[in-house]
Amino acid sequence: MLKRVFGLCSALIFIVSASASAQVYFINGTVQNLRPVVVGEQSAVLLSLQGRTEIFVVRTPDAPKFGLLKPETAAAPDQAKMAKELAAAQDWRVRLAVEPKKGAEGKEFTVKTLERLLEKK
């Protein structure tokens, strides 16, 4: 019994310490610009919000689950096709869960989740 309690406490301490080290911020805004980029062999989508100076980076494999790209486009990135599909997300109201990129001094964030918000009427 004591071993189980000790194991459970150890697991909880590990989870709390791991979550404390990762800073996640929630940001609401309206999409101003989406642009596909390729760096080396990695492709991504750069997203900017109206009235904000930060750059938000969406990994291409995550873009379909956020509704930004079709799965087949994300699987074989073509910048022209990606740009056409990304244009549909222009002016979306969104809520982002973001994590600061290391060494970016607060100007560049990795998008963990993107939720499209209902438009105000």
Residue-wise pLDDT tens digits, 81-108: 888 999 999 999 999 999 998 876 778 9
pLDDT at residue 117 greater than cutoff 90: yes
1 band by pLDDT with thresholds 50, 70 and 90: low
Contact between 45 and 58 under an 8 Å Cβ cutoff? The reply is yes
| Domain 24-116 of CATH type 2.40.50 | yes
Pick from 85, 95, 98, 107: nearest CA to 58: 98
14 band by pLDDT with thresholds 50, 70 and 90: low
Residue-wise pLDDT tens digits, 16-74: 555 555 689 999 999 999 999 887 778 899 999 999 999 999 999 999 999 999 999 88
